[in-house]
Amino acid sequence: MTMALSGQYMTNGLLAAGVLLLKVLAVIMPITVVVAYLTYVERKVIGYMQRRIGPHRVGYRGLLQPFADVFKLLLKEVLVPASANRFLFLTAPFLALVPALATWAVVPFWRGAALANVDAGLLYVLAMTSMTVYGIILAGWSSNSKYALLGAMRSAAQMVAYEIAMGFALVGVIMASNSLNLDRIVVAQAGGLHHWYIWPLLPLAVVYFICGVAETNRAPFDVAEGESEIVAGFHVEYSGAGFALFFLAEYANMILISALVSIFFVGGWLSPFEGLVPILGKPGLHWLALKMAFFLFCFLWFRATFPRYRYDQIMRLGWKVFIPLTLLWIGLECVWKAVGFGPWF
């Protein structure tokens, strides 16, 4: 009797685990495809900004280019420098990749559609997004190359610079929503375009997005890579698949930051026409996707426009502009909280 019951529990458990696994794959697989096509879009968008046409040889209008890139990278030799710490050298790409993908567990795509709809979601996001940088530092250190080491040092400096401002910006969001649950943060913004947090928290939104750009090592904060300064920085010694993992992590992080900014500040899956237009006003995944696309475009736009910061200047920006600004805004929110303000507090 007990045996049979536990056996049934086992099958049920296995079944549930299988279903969960499929769900996880259903999230991760589209993300990897989006990553692949983000590289294509990046090359096309920046190409057009620079009066070029971008990739156009592989497939119709170059649409198969990302696959060609993936296969090329996988077919290259995986080099491990002789003087490198072999174990750490091969572990580092995982440290960068795993958080970039695992954070998606708590990201809600529409109402209740997060795989892990947990109450500590925002803490998890904060913890995971901060992890990526350790992969970079470890990669730089374990390569045993001076350029890589400089890249790692810069990455550490950068983290020191923006992590706090990022945290403060999120505190601002929590103060408005009173929840760490990403799902509820979006729901709290329901009620129309003017309920979104971007209006009262605009400076925090800007700070958070800029910190996100910095965290993903994208221009103008790409000092850890610093193409023209330290050649490729932390991944100068990586080739083939190892490099591909860093690449995947960077782009997955870009998409993640876009999703998070959309969720925290511009109402996630909510429609901007909520309550105004009957069909367009319906919430849905497409709104989230549109908002993410906009922020992703901004990533590319920045890259085509701005020169690169020097890494001590990022530190100055973080400590002397962002932290005072976010502190000030939290103080302001305290006042709003006490006296009530608009539909948000």
Partner 1 sequence: MLAAYLAIPFFLVVAAGIGLFALAAGFVLGPRRPDPRKAAPYECGFEAFEDAHMPFDVRYYLVAILFILFDLEITFLFPWAVSLNHIGTAGLLAMVAFLLVLTIGFIYEWRKGALEWE
Partner 2 sequence: MPDLRNFTLNFGPQHPAAHGVLRLVLEMEGEVVRRADPHIGLLHRGTEKLAESKPFNHSIGYMDRLDYVSMMCNEHAYVLAIERLLGIVPPIRAQYIRVMFDEITRILNHLLWLGSHGLDIGAMTLFLYCFREREDLMDCYEAVSGARMHATYYRPGGVYRDLPQRMPQYQPPADPKVHRSTRELERMNANRQGSLLDFIEDFCNRFPALVDEYETLLTDNRIWKQRTVGIAVVPPERALALGFTGPMLRGSGIPWDLRRKQPYEVYDQMEFDIPVGTEGDCYDRYLVRVEEMRQSNRIIKQCVDWLKANPGPVMLADHKVTPPGREAVKQDMEALIHSFKLFSEGYSVPEGETYAAVEAPKGEFGIYLISDGANKPFRVKIRPPAFVHLAAMDEMVRGHMLADVVAVMGTMDIVFGEVDR
| DSSP state for residue 59 in the 8-state scheme | S
* Distant-in-sequence contacts of 102-105, Cβ < 8 A, 24+ apart: 102/128, 103/128, 103/129, 103/256, 104/27, 104/28, 104/31, 104/256, 105/24, 105/27
Judged by beta carbon, residue 269 or residue 311, the one nearer partner 2 is: 311
Considering only residues 290 to 319 of the shown chain, the ones binding partner 1 according to CB under 8 A are 312, 315-316, 319
Q: Which residues of 197-236 are buried (b: 16+ CB within 10 A; e: fewer)?
A: bbebbebbbbbbbbbbbbbbbbbbbbbbbbeebbebbbbb
Distance CA 81, CA 97 (A): 21
Q: Does 111 bind partner 1 (CB under 8 A)?
A: no
Q: Does 320 bind partner 2 (CB under 8 A)?
A: no
Q: Does 332 bind partner 1 (CB under 8 A)?
A: no
Distance CA 84, CA 249 (A): 22
Distance CA 6, CA 15 (A): 14
Judged by beta carbon, residue 84 or residue 270, the one nearer partner 1 is: 84
The contact pattern for partner 2, residues 150-189, with x = CB under 8 A and - = no contact, is: x--xx-----------------------------------
Candidates 61-69, 143-151, 167-175, 243-251: pick the segment binding partner 2 (CB under 8 A).
143-151
Distance CA 304, CA 331 (A): 36
Q: Is residue 163 a contact partner of residue 130, using CB atoms and an 8 Å limit?
A: yes
Query: Rounded to the nearest 5°, which phi and psi values hold at 340?
Result: 80, 140
Considering only residues 10 to 49 of the shown chain, the ones binding partner 1 according to CB under 8 A are 17, 20-21, 23-25, 27-28, 32
59 contact partners, CB below 8 Å, separation of at least 6? 65
- For the CB of residue 48, give the shortest distance to partner 2 in the complex, in Å: 11
Q: Does 92 bind partner 1 (CB under 8 A)?
A: no
- For the CB of residue 104, give the shortest distance to partner 1 in the complex, in Å: 7
Q: Does 145 bind partner 1 (CB under 8 A)?
A: yes
Query: Rounded to the nearest 5°, which phi and psi values hold at 135?
Result: -60, -40
Q: Does 137 bind partner 1 (CB under 8 A)?
A: no
Considering only residues 291 to 310 of the shown chain, the ones binding partner 2 according to CB under 8 A are 303-310
Candidates 75-83, 205-213, 220-228, 270-278: pick the segment binding partner 1 (CB under 8 A).
75-83
Candidates 44-52, 96-104, 259-267, 285-293: pick the segment binding partner 1 (CB under 8 A).
96-104
- Interface residue list for partner 2 (CB under 8 A): 46, 49-52, 146-147, 150, 153-154, 219-220, 222-223, 226-231, 303-313
